[in-house]
Amino acid sequence: MKSFYITTAIDYANGSPHLGHAYEKVLTDVVARFRRLMGDDVYFLTGIDEHGQKVQQSAAKRDIQPIELCDEAAGQFKELCESLNISNDDFIRTTETRHKDVVRKILQDLFDRDEIYKAEYKGFYSARAEQFLQEKDMVDGKWPEIFGEVTEITESNYFFKLSKYQDWLIEHIKTHEDFIFPRFRAKQVLEFLKEPINDLCISRPKERLEWGIPLPFDDGYVTYVWFDALVNYISAVGYGTPDFEKYWPVDYHVIGKDILLPPHSVYWPIMLKAIGVEIPSSLLVHGWWSINGDKMSKSTGNFIEPSEFVKEYSVDALRYFLIREMSVGQDSDFSDELFTNRYNSDLANDLGNLLNRVLTMTPRYCGDTFPARSVDEEPEKELEEAWANTEGKVVELYEDFQFHKGLELTFAFIRSINRYAEQRSPWKLAKSEDQKDKDTCATALSLMAESLRRAVGLLEPVMPETTARVYELLGYESDAAWLERLKPSDALTGAKVGERVILFPKPQQEKK
Ligand code: MSP
């Protein structure tokens, strides 16, 4: 069976992990967990991008070797994955032999087939962006700030014949609706491709840059960092071995909007086409987070340390916020206020209070185990109907990457359970001597617990620890497939009620 193969971008080794990296990993993890729950054999890759001028310069500034800087960064990004509970199967570093060998093999292959040629280049170069520029990159006659100092240089370099594939690429994008998600991003790529594209300079002379993969056919040069980095997606899954077929073509490359054009939508498909490999099924392009309405930047202090939020709240609280707040593909803003509002209203109040009610009232009014249900009147029917309208829709929304809407519906259902609790008011029924009231009280507590069990099931791709914890507190154990677990059942009848805990304490409250 072919695996469901999904990747994140590989992060630059010369920066520290920030909220943008955290989001991309969490989003990819949510898709990966969802697909696993749906029965796919998932393979999830992430990693870091270690070569290039910026790494060489940052290491030189600190008077250390580039590899020492990369080792440090690899540690930090692996820690980020652990702290966010990311379920990646592999973590690739572009300095690993398994990767470097594949890059060199591909370069040699392209060179042997005349897809790479040497030519003299005269033009503008930005050291900061590690990229050659054209006059059309100027804005109002000036180089935009992101390019830093731009100098005019003349040098011989190797070029990859991108331009001859332009028409093929345009045709592919036009005829493969699913190639770029969301679709409006495909329009931007087609717009870009209206102008002729240049061949890609894939080498850097060693005297200017040493920290890279030497070209196999000319060791006076190293490989351009994007050509090197993109190859990680195939070097990690055994390109050139029989294993490769199990993973390729990749199902989704999850990337931010800034690296769609040109690397992922132009260079990468053409590189693959030129070596005779199928191109990716789909690029899932997400938007960018700003903080307090501004660009994220460490130097101005407008920066969020994702691990601080995990420490202060919980990993699931951060995962929930990131996925609930951003519609995949659009931009979003992060602020302490937005975070605490969501945390307090959805997690502490709606979900936390419901769990609290179930764990406090059941032992008080019914004993140590969850009772059976014997009453089925209008309030029960309404709650069951609310579930029937939620479950299938949420799964469909998840399938479509509309996770924020799926969570919105799930929390609307959680609020329906709370409304049902108010309507039935077990605390009042428990005072009655009447048998019918006693039965209704038992039914209400049982149905609240059962509905909560189903609701936290829907949260599993996003908040796996919360689902496991609530299952445990409800005494629920099951080996059944996920979709089965979402179905109504009386599995909780007779299950032992867990001890009361506060899952999402308000900052001034103590966790138990
Ligand atoms: N190394 C390249 C990617 C090579 S992939 C073969 C790179 N690295 S990066 O560290 O700058 O960015 C890694 C990912 O984080 C990118 O997909 C980028 O879009 C994403 N983000 C960086 N800042 C972001 C936000 N502020 N918000 C959301 N995602 C952001 O590019």
Asked if residue 254 lies in contact with residue 403, where contact means CB atoms within 8 angstroms, the answer is no
**Closest atom, ligand 1, to C-alpha of 49:** 1
pLDDT band at 511 (very low <50, low <70, confident <90, very high): low
The distance of Cα 103 from the centroid of its chain, to the nearest Å, equals 26
Query: How would you class 455 by CB atoms within 10 Å of its CB: exposed for 0-12, middle for 13-18, buried for 19 or more?
Result: buried
Edge-to-edge strand ranges of the sheet holding 218-223: 203-205, 218-223, 214-215
Asked if residue 256 lies in contact with residue 285, where contact means CB atoms within 8 angstroms, the answer is yes
The CATH architecture one would assign to domain 336-511 is: Orthogonal Bundle (1.10)
Asked if residue 441 lies in contact with residue 431, where contact means CB atoms within 8 angstroms, the answer is no
Measured over all CA atoms, what is the biggest interatomic distance in the chain, rounded to whole angstroms? 95
Q: Which pLDDT does position 305 carry in this prediction? A: 86
Element (H, E) at 97: helix 97-112
CA of 23 to the centre of ligand 1 (A): 10
Mean pLDDT value across the chain: 96
CA of 91 to the centre of ligand 1 (A): 16
Radius of gyration of the chain (CA): 27
CA of 62 to the centre of ligand 1 (A): 24
Residue nearest to atom 5 of ligand 1 (CA): 9
**pLDDT tens string 73-94:** 999 999 999 999 999 999 999 9
> What pTM was computed for the model?
0.97
Q: 3-class DSSP state for residue 220?
A: strand
Give strand pairing partners of 90.
Answer: 45
CA of 11 to the centre of ligand 1 (A): 6
**pLDDT tens string 467-481:** 999 999 999 999 999
CA of 476 to the centre of ligand 1 (A): 40
**Closest atom, ligand 1, to C-alpha of 290:** 26
- Determine the average pLDDT of the residues in 431-450: 98
CA of 24 to the centre of ligand 1 (A): 8
Q: Pick the closest to residue 249 from 276, 226, 285, 228 (CA basis).
A: 276
Asked if residue 375 lies in contact with residue 381, where contact means CB atoms within 8 angstroms, the answer is no
Residue nearest to atom 19 of ligand 1 (CA): 256
CA of 300 to the centre of ligand 1 (A): 19
Q: Is 394 a residue whose pLDDT tops 80?
A: yes
CA distance 260 to 267: 10
Residue nearest to atom 18 of ligand 1 (CA): 256
**pLDDT tens string 14-33:** 988 999 999 999 999 999 99
**Closest atom, ligand 1, to C-alpha of 256:** 19
CA distance 97 to 235: 10
* 73's tokens: 């960064």
Q: Which of 22-26, 157-161, 228-232, 303-307 has the lowest mean pLDDT?
A: 303-307
Secondary structure tally for the chain: helices H, strands E: 20, 16
Q: Which pLDDT does position 301 carry in this prediction? A: 85
Q: Which pLDDT does position 508 carry in this prediction? A: 66
**Closest atom, ligand 1, to C-alpha of 268:** 6
- Determine the average pLDDT of the residues in 52-74: 97
**Closest atom, ligand 1, to C-alpha of 295:** 26
CA of 20 to the centre of ligand 1 (A): 7
Q: Which pLDDT does position 183 carry in this prediction? A: 96
* Ligand 1: lining residues by beta carbon, under 6 Å: 9-12, 15, 20-21, 23-24, 49, 229-230, 232, 255-256, 258-259, 288-289, 296
Q: Is 455 a residue whose pLDDT tops 60?
A: yes
Q: Let me know how long the chain is.
A: 512
Domain boundaries, the chain: 336-511
CA distance 315 to 83: 7
Element (H, E) at 419: helix 403-424
* Percentage of the chain lying above the pLDDT 90 cut: 92
